[in-house]
Structure formats: C-alpha cells, structure tokens
C-alpha cells in the first residue's frame, strides 16, 4: 500500500516551505549584555536603546529580553518610533521610523544584564546598514547627553553599536572618562529563527509520521528486507 | 530525533523499495537545510564601491547613530586600500545625491557645485596597501527621515580642491559647474564621453578642459583628444568641464599641472582647439559681464593656464566663449603652436586690475611659439553697462617672470574700443623680454621698467579692416582720435640692430583723424635705431588729419640713429616717404599768430575744410642729453596730389599745412650729427630737399634753433 498522496504531499510542502524561507534568510544575532554599574551606583540616568534605520527598509527588529538589574526602573519612559513593551519584560524595537528609541529612566545600582536579539537584514538598495546602539545618558533636553564618554569613534558615547546585516564583528567601546560603567557584550550561539525551524520541523515530523504509518501497515520490520512489497 | 534517525537507518539498510530513495533525498535536502540554517552567515554587505579617482581605495560606512551633542546622525567611513600598492593621499570623500535634500553633510570640508566633500587625512600622505583609515560623516537630519546617498573616493595629489563630479550630479541649471565633471567613456571614444555630458546638459558642450588622464590602474597617461571631436557653438557656458580620452574604460581625473600650481581657488584649465583647419579664424572671447567683479565671482575665473593650441583652426562661427574674466592667472594662449597663417582673435573684455600679478602669463604664453599669422588680443575696456566709465588700468602686469620667446615672438595687443572715452592701460613692472605690440585705438602703455620691445606697431588702418572683417561695428566713426602713449618709460631698450619703431597711420574712410604719439618723460632711450613714427594719412580722410608726437621731457637718448618722424596729410604713403626731406624745426603758430609755440597739439588745431588741415607736430621740449650719433627729426606735412595743378584749390592761402618740430631746450646734447628734415608746408612749394647738419657742443635753446 502506497503512502497516501495527500499525507506525503503535506510533508513535502512543509519541508519545501521551510527551505523556501532560506531564500530570504531571516537569521538573528543574540547578544548577552552584562554591565557593571557599581561606579554609578545611586546615579540617576537613562538607558537609551537606539535603532536607527540606514537602509530605508522596514526589515529589522531588536528584542530586549531577560532584563535583570538591582537598579531601579523609573518613569516616564519615552518611546520613539517602533518601540513596544516595557522593561523588565520584553521590549521590541523595530525600524518603523528612521530613529527608534526606548529611553528608560533608571537609578543605577551595581549591575544590569539583558539579552539582545537582533535580526540581521540589510537592504543594499539603501546606503547604510541599520544600527542598534546603547547609551547611558542624563536627562538633558531635548537630547540627553552621555553620562560618560567612550571610545566610540563618532564621539557620541555609545557603549556598543551593532550594524545589522553586516558581519563586521561586534564594535564595543570602552569608557574614556570616570566614573563610568564597564560592560561586556558577548555573542550567544546563533540559532535558526523560530518560525523557520518550526516550519521545517513540521515537515520532518510529517514525513516521519508518514513513514511510521506506512511501515506499520505495509512493511513489518522483520519482513522489510526479504519481502519487499510490490502490491 | 532519535526515532527519526532509527527510521532513516531502517529505510537505508533494510527497506529498498523505490519510495525509500525518495525519502532519502528528502532527508538529504533536510540535512543541507540544517547545515545552512546553523552555519549561515549574513552576507558581507555595504560592499565597497569603487572609488572614482583612486580605484584602489574603497569605502565602507557604518550605520548611523545619534550624536547627542550636535543632533547629527553620524556614520563611520572606513577607507581601505585594497590594492597591493601604496596610494598617495590626501583622500577625500565626495558625498553626492543625498536624498531627500533636507539631509545635509554637516561636517563637509567644502562643497563643489553644491556637492559636499570631506577630506580624509592620510598619515604621512600614504595609504599603504591593505591599510585603512576612518572618517566620521555627520549628517544633519532635523526631520529624522531615512535617507540615501552615494559616495566617491577621490585623490588629490596637488593638495588642491579638485574633486570629481559625475555628470549626473550637476544640474542643468548649474551653469557654472565650477569643478570637474568626469565622463565615463569607452576606449578612445571621446565623442561618447561628450555625448554623455551633452545629453546631461541637454545641449552641446563648447568648452573642453583637459589635463591628464588616468588609466584603469590609476596611472597617468598622456592627454589625447582625437581629431574627430569638435567644438560647437552654444550659448551655454560651462566651466571646467572635463572630458577625457584615453586608453581604457574608466573614470579619469583632472589634475593640475604640478609645475604651475594655481591659487587654490583657480584651477588650471586647458582649452584645446582641436579642429586644426587652416585659413579660418579662431575667436576666444572672454567676456566679463560683471564689473566690478565681486569676491564671489572670483571662483568663476577659471582661466588659469588658458591654453589655446593650434589656434588657426576654427571658423568664425565656431568659437570658444569663456564668460567671466578678470583675475585670470597665467592666461596662456599658446596660439602659435603650429600656427601657419590663420587669424586668432582673443578678446578679454573689462578685465579689471589685479595687483597680485595674476596676469603675468598672458604675455608669456603668447610668445611661446609661432611662425606667422596674426594673433589679436583685444582687451576691450568699454562697458556696455556703463558706457561713461573709463577703465584706466586694464592690466597690471606684475611679476611676469616666465617667458620663453622663440624665433618670432608674438605679443600683440589689439585695443579696440567703440568709445573714444575709453582707453586701455597696460601697466607692468616686470614685462616680457620681447614683445610685439599691435594696437588699434587708444592705448596707453605705462610701464616703468626696462622693456625691450622689438616692435611696437600702432596701426589703425589695417586693424580697422580686420575688425570690420570680423563683424565688429562701431569702427566707422566720423571722427576718430587715436593716441598711443608711451609715457614714463624708464630705460627703454630696443634690441640692437632692429629697426624698432612706433608707427601709426590713420584709418581710411574717416572724416577726421587725429593721431598722437605721446612719449613724454622717456628716460634712457637706448637703441641702435629708434623710430618714432607717427603717420596720419588716408586717402579718404575728408576733413582733418593731424598727427603729433609729444616726446617732451625725453631724457638720455642713446640711439645711434634716432629717427623721430611724424607725418600728417592725405597723400599717398609712398609720396611721403620719397618726397618729404625737409626740416621744419619751428613752424610759427599759424593760427594764433602770437608767436607762442603750441604746448600741445590740441591747443591750436581748428577743424577746417576737407583735406585742408594736415598738421604735424613734433615736440621734444626739453630733450636732455641726447647722445645719438645721428638724430633725424622729420616732420612732414603733405597733402594729396589729386589736384596737383591747383593746390590752392584745396588749401588756399589761409589753409596752411603745418609742420612743426619743437626741440627746445635740448641740454646737453652730444650727438655728432643732427639732421633736421623739413617738408615745406604746401604742396609743390619749396619742396626741394633741405638738410641741415648740426654739431652741438652746447645746450640748445629755442633761440638757437630759431634761425
């Protein structure tokens, strides 16, 4: 008895769909960020999570998860552009606007840690890649200023900056004035994007299911080799 | 997964039905899929775009981040030398096509035709192979909108701002493309390059400025323009348009001549006439429409090293027009290259005085070669916008130091003015070594340093004709007054042995003409033969012809033979030359009757009847220390021989022909022989030759001469 065509077709379709997803790959960079803010303990400032659109395409999202700190998240939180969510819960920043920013008031204690998941898309029709950068800033208006300077070559005081879709390492800067925080940014293992993995896995499971069912009906394990079925 | 693998193993090892191969294929693809999914890396994007000038250097830009101090959005540009050879600096980034235009480059070093560029310093001026340098670009983006731009890496070995603009980066409205436009072209296809530019400008390009080109490897190659290229007339005026022809596809660069670096704001420009036809006229017109010239206009004057080669080539309707003028440094008109008889006409209108020596090479270039023909430089001073304005100092030639005369040096100045109130003045303190000056109209030379002129011709008749031939109007005046002043010469030195002279004669078809040579205050006149010839005549001068040489206060004549000749009249030239042999050293004041010698020619001439008042006046009062061996004072006044039978018919008793030589107060004089030639004052009256020789050993006074 042959495998039911519909069942087999569904499996192939799911697998094909999973493969098709790679023609427009949607990978992500996952960064673990750990910041020692001991020297700033008691300082009131803001965390600025900036995503700047460089390629004029809505194609990237930065997600902040696992936000842990012994400091105090204050208010009011200022969100510009494609920002959704609220710390310490997950926050998503998309490049819906040219400039997208979460400005989180904060009373520093000794540490901050969180995970950044950044999509890696670059539409080369644009001139520049999108960039995510993190700052610690004061409350100046209209543009808060960095609490300390860093080795950021632009002189803008970023702790680090990531060009999305560009395999150029991880530009992380060092503080150049004191008091300042110290930080480390490390890559987490790159994993397939969940959507693609689920679709691919579904296809494999469907095929496996079909095989099991067919073997159960047509080809017992002890006869499978010696008596191939031609019916 | 383990279960899945068990099934795979079972299928592969024991179940050989056809469907198993299908399943195996699917699983193989799946493995590939997994591999890709785990190991896939994003492609390296922001691939460097090739630089325009320095193809070896590419630029990669980081994303933007907010500058919290300035509000700009900043990007880090990384320039890398991808070649195996060092690249000389400095380098610059030209940022073009920023869209939308509300976004600007905030930290631009400057702009060229509105296109910003950013200098990128290179350590030790060398970017080694594989080395990188960075620069930060800061963009003003007050609206915080997404934007795009293009970039080009340029190289400027001269340290002068000469960046490359693409032809599509200069708007059609920008008719002053001040800097460089490059054309990408096929090999040896200048026409294609021109088409590219012209299509952009929606019209033909009339000026082609060229210098060096670079091949695809960045090596400088000789400039080359094929003969098939041609200049066309167009009302449009673009400056510094670069077209190139060379050996390979690619982008090319305009480079200044390192031997003659211009001021930073004035690039060298070469204009090449490439038609080479003979027998036609070239006309290069530098027409300054702005007067006075403002500081903002200075940048327009991109005539540095204005090289016109093979100037014989074009028809009159094909000409190069350079609008602007003034402050032009080093105008080189090397017209004489391969020159063989055509007529070049260069006109610089309303050039204003420059005290910085910017004009020095106007002369130098002109005399750089040539074997004949005519080159006219018309430094016209008349301003259509302000006809009453006189421009007394047309040029100031300072520090002219580079002249290379050849066999037949050519420096011809044709001064043509349609307004007799205008006059040209050439002032120089360091003039060329050798020059020929050809002037028409009223021209004042006022140079106060030794100036070894081999030939100065102040001629009006033929000049008029040429002007008429060239379509000029306003030369048929009913009355023309020409003057040729060489006042205040200091140590005038002619080339030994040359028959150097000033000569002038009147234009034809004029009612009246007055021609004067003013040579006052000459000092150290030193030549083997000196001719001061003022010759006013014409077959159709119907009213008055007056000629005068005013050389008062002449000091230190060292010429072995000095001939100071003044002709006036309406006779044929050959008649004057053959017949006038007499001396009139002191003709009494014929009109005033007071016995007082005239002080200036215009003191005592009346406008008389047609052809009845030719008058000549020579005044050398005083001449100090005449040291010549032979000095001839020739004053001739003649009239037409059209009615030889009855001269009184024309002149009558009260219509004198005046000849005057005023040489009062020659003190002291050491010449051995002075020949006074006088032509009597009436036709066929007392026209026998008289020669009077004097040996002077004492100062001459008026009384001494009034014999």
Complete DSSP assignment for A139-164: --SSSPPBSS-BS-TTSS--SEEEET
Q: pLDDT-based confidence at B194, cuts 50/70/90?
A: very low
What pLDDT does A168 receive? Answer: 66
Give me the DSSP letters along B153-218. Answer: EEE-TTSS---EEEGGGS-TT-----SEEE--B-TT-HHHHHHHHHHHHTS-----B---EE-TTS
Question: Per the structure block, which two tokens stand in for B272?
Answer: 């090449």
Please state the three-class secondary structure of B125-159 as a single string. HEECCCCEEEEEEEEECCCCCCCEEEEEEEECCCC
% chain B with pLDDT above 90: 3
Cis peptide before A88 (omega within 30 of 0): yes
| A154 in reach of chain B (CB within 8 A) | yes
**Residue carrying the six token digits 């200044």:** B256
Q: Which residues contact A140 (CB under 8 A, 6 or more apart)?
A: none
What pLDDT does A202 receive? Answer: 52
**Count of other CB atoms within 10 angstroms of residue B188:** 14
Q: Coil, helix or strand for B65? A: strand
CB-based burial label for B403 (10 Å; 0-12, 13-18, 19+): buried
Q: How many angstroms separate the Cα of B452 from the Cα of each of A75, B270, B580?
A: 89, 29, 30
CB B422 within 8 A of CB B447: no
B270-292 as b/e: b if 16+ CB within 10 A: bbbbbbeeeebbbbbbbebebbe
Question: Per the structure block, which two tokens stand in for A196?
Answer: 């693609």
What pLDDT does B253 receive? Answer: 27
Chain B residue numbers with beta carbons less than 8 Å from the beta carbon of A173 are none
What pLDDT does A171 receive? Answer: 67
CB-based burial label for B358 (10 Å; 0-12, 13-18, 19+): buried
Q: pLDDT-based confidence at A126, cuts 50/70/90?
A: confident
Q: How far is CA B617 from the centre of its chain?
A: 37
pLDDT top residue among B55 and B642: B55
B686, pLDDT greater than 60? no
Q: pLDDT-based confidence at B638, cuts 50/70/90?
A: very low
What pLDDT does A166 receive? Answer: 82
**Contacting A residues, span 26-65, partner chain B, CB-CB under 8 Å:** 27, 50, 52-54, 56
Question: Per the structure block, which two tokens stand in for B222?
Answer: 């000789």
Question: Per the structure block, which two tokens stand in for B637?
Answer: 């006044």
What is the mean predicted confidence (pLDDT) over A128-154?
A: 90
Q: Which of A2, A12, A208 to mutate to test the interface with B (most CBs of B within 10 A)?
A: A208
CA distance B382 to B384: 6
CA distance B182 to B52: 9
Which of A218-222, B108-112, B230-234, B580-584 shows the highest mean pLDDT? B108-112
Cα angle at B494 between B492 and B497, to 5 degrees?
A: 155
Which of A144-148, A226-230, B437-441, B671-675 shows the highest mean pLDDT? A144-148
CA distance B547 to B428: 27
B286, pLDDT greater than 60? no
pLDDT in tens, B30-88: 554 443 333 332 222 222 222 334 457 888 899 999 988 888 999 999 888 888 777 76
| A139 in reach of chain B (CB within 8 A) | no
What pLDDT does A29 receive? Answer: 85
CB A197 within 8 A of CB B37: yes
What pLDDT does B60 receive? Answer: 87
What pLDDT does A188 receive? Answer: 79
Chain A residue numbers with beta carbons less than 8 Å from the beta carbon of B33 are 15, 18-19, 22, 200
In chain A, at which residue ranges do the beta strands (DSSP E only) sit? Answer: 28-36, 44-52, 61-69, 72-73, 78-80, 82-85, 91-94, 99-107, 111-119, 131-137, 160-163, 182-187
What pLDDT does B428 receive? Answer: 35
CB B509 within 8 A of CB B476: yes
CA distance A4 to B133: 64
ipTM of predicted assembly, 2 dp: 0.74
**Residue carrying the six token digits 């032979």:** B630
Least confident stretch, A133-142, A166-175, B113-122, B569-578 = B569-578
What is the mean predicted confidence (pLDDT) over A170-179?
A: 80
What pLDDT does B98 receive? Answer: 83
What is the mean predicted confidence (pLDDT) over A200-210?
A: 54
B411 closest CA partner among B444, B360, B365, B352: B365
pLDDT in tens, B588-629: 223 233 333 333 322 222 222 223 333 444 444 334 334 443
B504, pLDDT greater than 90? no
What pLDDT does B139 receive? Answer: 94
B113-123 as b/e: b if 16+ CB within 10 A: bebbbbbbebe
Helix axes A5-20, A194-218, angle to 10 degrees: 160
What pLDDT does A183 receive? Answer: 87
Inter-chain touch A161–B63, beta carbons under 8 Å:
yes
B387, pLDDT greater than 60? no
What pLDDT does A45 receive? Answer: 93
Chain A residue numbers with beta carbons less than 8 Å from the beta carbon of B15 are 215, 219, 224-225, 228
What pLDDT does A190 receive? Answer: 54
pLDDT top residue among A91 and B688: A91
| B71 in reach of chain A (CB within 8 A) | yes
What pLDDT does A141 receive? Answer: 82
Least confident stretch, A2-6, B19-23, B445-449, B630-634 = B445-449
Least confident stretch, A122-126, B104-108, B644-648 = B644-648
What pLDDT does B68 receive? Answer: 84
Taking all residues of chain B, what is their mean pLDDT, rounded to a whole number?
Answer: 41
What pLDDT does B633 receive? Answer: 45
CB B301 within 8 A of CB B327: yes
CA distance B88 to B106: 26
Of A56, A154, A196, the CB nearest to B65: A154
Q: pLDDT-based confidence at A110, cuts 50/70/90?
A: very high
What is the mean predicted confidence (pLDDT) over B674-689?
A: 34
B664-683 as b/e: b if 16+ CB within 10 A: bbbeebebeebbbbbbbbbb
What pLDDT does B25 receive? Answer: 59
What pLDDT does B140 receive? Answer: 93
What is the mean predicted confidence (pLDDT) over B325-340?
A: 29
In B258-324, at which residue ranges do the beta strands (DSSP E only) sit? Answer: 268-271, 281-287, 304-308, 320-323
| B104 in reach of chain A (CB within 8 A) | no
What pLDDT does B155 receive? Answer: 58
> Looking at CA atoms only, how far is residue A54 from chain B in angstroms?
6
**Contacting B residues, span 7-36, partner chain A, CB-CB under 8 Å:** 7, 10-11, 14-17, 19, 23, 26-27, 29-30, 33-34, 36
Q: Coil, helix or strand for A94? A: strand
% chain A with pLDDT above 90: 43
What pLDDT does B75 receive? Answer: 93
Inter-chain touch B42–A165, beta carbons under 8 Å:
yes
Q: pLDDT-based confidence at A215, cuts 50/70/90?
A: low
What pLDDT does B502 receive? Answer: 37
Q: Coil, helix or strand for B558? A: coil
CA distance B494 to B429: 17
Cis peptide before B622 (omega within 30 of 0): yes
What pLDDT does B295 receive? Answer: 31
In B570-627, at which residue ranges do the beta strands (DSSP E only) sit? Answer: 615-619, 623-626
What is the mean predicted confidence (pLDDT) over A114-139?
A: 90
What pLDDT does B23 receive? Answer: 59
Alpha helices, DSSP H, located in chain A: 5-20, 194-218
CA distance A36 to A183: 6
Chain A residue numbers with beta carbons less than 8 Å from the beta carbon of B40 are 22, 25, 27
Give me the DSSP letters along B329-370. Answer: -S----TTTT--S-EEEEEEESPPP-SS-TTHHHHHHHTT--
pLDDT top residue among B304 and A44: A44
Cis peptide before B346 (omega within 30 of 0): no
CA distance B264 to B253: 17
Cis peptide before A142 (omega within 30 of 0): yes
Question: Per the structure block, which two tokens stand in for B551?
Answer: 């050389």
Taking all residues of chain A, what is their mean pLDDT, rounded to a whole number?
Answer: 76
What pLDDT does A85 receive? Answer: 94
Q: How many angstroms separate the Cα of B458 from the Cα of each of A156, B471, B517, B557, B656?
A: 71, 21, 9, 21, 27
Residue B72: closest CA among chain A residues belongs to which residue?
A156
What pLDDT does B137 receive? Answer: 93
What pLDDT does B111 receive? Answer: 66
pLDDT in tens, B343-386: 333 433 333 322 222 222 233 223 222 222 333 343 333 333 33
What pLDDT does A216 receive? Answer: 55
What pLDDT does A96 receive? Answer: 93
Q: pLDDT-based confidence at A84, cuts 50/70/90?
A: very high
| A158 in reach of chain B (CB within 8 A) | yes
What does pTM read for this prediction?
A: 0.39
Residue B26: closest CA among chain A residues belongs to which residue?
A12
CA distance A183 to A171: 13
Q: How many angstroms separate the Cα of B214 from the Cα of each of B178, B210, B249?
A: 21, 12, 10
CA distance B390 to B287: 17
Least confident stretch, A22-26, A138-142, B703-707 = B703-707
Q: Which of B16, B66, B72 to mutate to test the interface with A (most CBs of A within 10 A)?
A: B66
pLDDT in tens, B544-563: 444 445 554 444 444 444 54
């Amino acid at each position: 008895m042959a495998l039911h065509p519909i069942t087999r077709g569904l499996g192939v379709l799911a697998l094909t769909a999973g493969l098709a997803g790679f023609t427009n790959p949607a990978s992500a960079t996952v960064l673990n960020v750990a910041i020692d803010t001991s020297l700033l303990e008691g300082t009131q400032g803001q965390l600025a999570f900036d995503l700047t659109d460089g390629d004029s395409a809505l194609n990237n999202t930065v997600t902040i998860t696992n936000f842990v700190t012994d400091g105090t998240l204050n208010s009011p939180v200022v969100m510009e552009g494609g920002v959704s969510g609220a710390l310490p819960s997950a926050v998503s920043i998309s490049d819906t606007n040219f400039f997208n920013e979460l400005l989180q008031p904060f009373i520093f204690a000794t540490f901050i840690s969180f995970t950044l998941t950044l999509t890696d898309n670059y539409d080369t029709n644009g001139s520049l890649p999108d960039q995510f950068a993190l700052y610690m800033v004061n409350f100046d208006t209209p543009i808060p200023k960095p609490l300390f300077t860093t080795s950021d070559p632009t002189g803008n005081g970023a702790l680090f900056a990531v060009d999305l879709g560009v395999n150029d390492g991880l530009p992380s800067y060092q503080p150049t004035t004191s008091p300042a925080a110290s930080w480390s940014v490390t890559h987490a293992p790159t994993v397939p994007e969940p959507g693609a993995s689920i679709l691919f896995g579904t296809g494999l499971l469907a095929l496996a299911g079909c095989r099991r069912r067919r073997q159960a009906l047509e080809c017992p394990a002890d006869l499978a080799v010696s008596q191939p079925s031609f019916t | 997964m383990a279960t899945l693998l068990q099934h795979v193993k079972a299928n592969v090892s024991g179940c050989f039905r056809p469907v198993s191969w299908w399943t195996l294929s699917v699983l193989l693809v799946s493995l590939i899929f997994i591999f890709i999914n785990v190991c896939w890396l994003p492609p390296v994007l922001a691939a460097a775009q090739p630089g325009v000038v320095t193809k070896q250097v590419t630029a990669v830009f980081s994303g933007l981040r907010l500058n919290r101090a300035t509000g700009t959005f900043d990007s880090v540009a990384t320039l890398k030398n991808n070649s195996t050879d060092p690249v000389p600096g400095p380098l610059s980034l030209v940022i073009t096509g920023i869209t939308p235009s509300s976004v600007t480059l905030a930290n631009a070093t400057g702009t060229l035709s509105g296109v910003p560029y950013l200098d990128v310093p290179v350590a030790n001026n060398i970017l080694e192979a594989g080395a990188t340098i960075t620069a930060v670009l800061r963009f003003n983006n007050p609206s915080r909108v997404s934007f795009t731009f293009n970039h080009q890496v340029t190289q400027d070995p001269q340290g002068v701002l000469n960046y490359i603009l693409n032809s599509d980066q200069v708007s059609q409205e920008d008719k002053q493309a001040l800097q460089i436009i490059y054309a990408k072209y096929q090999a040896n296809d200048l026409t294609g390059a021109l088409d590219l530019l012209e299509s952009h400008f929606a019209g033909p390009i009339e000026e082609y400025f060229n210098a060096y080109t670079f091949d695809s490897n960045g090596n400088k190659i000789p400039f080359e323009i094929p003969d098939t290229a041609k200049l066309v007339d167009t009302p449009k005026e673009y400056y510094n348009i670069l077209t190139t022809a060379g050996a390979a596809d690619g982008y090319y660069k305009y480079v200044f001549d390192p031997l003659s670096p211009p001021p930073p704001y004035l690039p060298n420009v070469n204009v090449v006439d490439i038609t080479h036809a003979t027998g036609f006229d070239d006309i290069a017109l530098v027409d300054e429409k702005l007067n006075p010239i403002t500081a903002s206009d200075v940048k327009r004057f991109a005539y540095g090293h204005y090289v016109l080669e093979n100037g014989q080539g074009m028809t009159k309707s094909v000409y190069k027009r350079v609008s602007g003028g003034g402050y032009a440094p080093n105008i080189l008109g090397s017209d004489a290259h391969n020159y063989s008889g055509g007529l070049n006409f260069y006109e610089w209108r309303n050039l204003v005085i420059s005290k910085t020596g910017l004009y020095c090479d106007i002369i130098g270039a002109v005399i750089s070669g040539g074997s004949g023909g005519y080159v006219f430089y018309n430094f016209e001073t008349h301003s259509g916008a302000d006809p009453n304005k006189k421009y007394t100092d047309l040029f100031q030639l300072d520090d002219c130091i580079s002249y290379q005369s050849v066999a037949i040096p050519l420096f011809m100045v044709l001064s043509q003015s349609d307004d007799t109130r205008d006059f040209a003045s050439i002032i120089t303190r360091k003039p060329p070594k050798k020059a020929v000056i050809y002037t028409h109209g009223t021209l004042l030379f006022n140079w106060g340093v030794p100036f070894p002129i081999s030939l100065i011709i102040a001629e009006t008749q033929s000049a008029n004709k040429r002007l008429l031939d060239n379509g000029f109007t306003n030369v048929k005046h009913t009355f023309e007054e020409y003057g040729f002043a060489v006042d205040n010469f200091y140590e005038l030195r002619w080339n030994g042995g040359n028959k150097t002279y000033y000569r002038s004669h009147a234009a034809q078809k004029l009612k009246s003409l007055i021609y004067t040579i003013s040579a006052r205050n000459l000092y150290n006149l030193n030549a083997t033969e000196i001719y001061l010839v003022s010759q006013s005549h014409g077959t159709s001068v119907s009213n008055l012809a007056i000629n005068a040489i005013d050389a008062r206060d002449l000091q230190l004549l060292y010429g072995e033979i000095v001939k100071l000749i003044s002709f006036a009249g309406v006779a044929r030239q050959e008649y004057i030359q053959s017949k006038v042999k007499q001396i009139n050293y002191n003709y009494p004041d014929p009109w005033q009757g007071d016995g007082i010698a005239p002080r200036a020619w215009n003191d005592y001439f009346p406008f008389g009847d047609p052809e009845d008042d030719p008058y000549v006046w020579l005044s050398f009062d005083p001449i100090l220390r005449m040291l010549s061996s032979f000095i001839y004072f020739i004053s001739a006044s003649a009239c037409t021989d059209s009615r030889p039978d009855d001269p009184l018919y024309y002149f009558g008793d009260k219509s004198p022909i005046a000849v005057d030589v005023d040489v009062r107060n020659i003190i002291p004089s050491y010449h051995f022989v002075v020949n006074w030639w006088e032509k009597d004052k009436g036709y066929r009256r007392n026209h026998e030759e008289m020669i009077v020789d004097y040996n002077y050993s004492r100062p001459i006074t008026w009384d001494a001469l009034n014999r």
